[in-house]
Amino acid sequence: MELIVYSAPWCHDCREAKRFLTRHHIPFREIDIETTPGAAEEVIRRTGKRAIPQFVIDGEWVQPYRPGEGFLHDEMAERLGVE
């Protein structure tokens, strides 16, 4: 499985998403939208909104959080096959 995380250092939900992945030993590649040219625009182009974190799991874009609710621990655990 290839997992890419679009994130930014100031984003609380991004930090929580990366903690979740690290805690479950799921390897990922991070793309910082603040320092990677074109990354923020790519998120908008692919999702239609300015929303991070975004996961790209084997090419499929997935929003791993819900505004007002935060990171979706249970849904992401099921999707990624971890407990």
pLDDT of residue 41: 97
Contact between 61 and 47 (Cβ < 8 Å): yes
From first to last of its 83 residues, the chain has per-residue pLDDT tens of: 999 999 999 999 999 999 999 999 999 999 999 999 999 999 999 999 999 999 999 999 999 999 999 999 999 999 999 98
Class of residue 7 by CB neighbours under 10 A (exposed 0-12, middle 13-18, buried 19+): buried
Q: For residues 61 and 55, is the Cβ–Cβ distance under 8 A?
A: yes
On whether the pTM is more than 0.85, the answer is yes
> What is the side-by-side order of every strand in the sheet holding 60-62?
29-32, 3-7, 54-57, 60-62
Q: Which domains are assigned to the chain?
A: 3-80 (3.40.30.10)
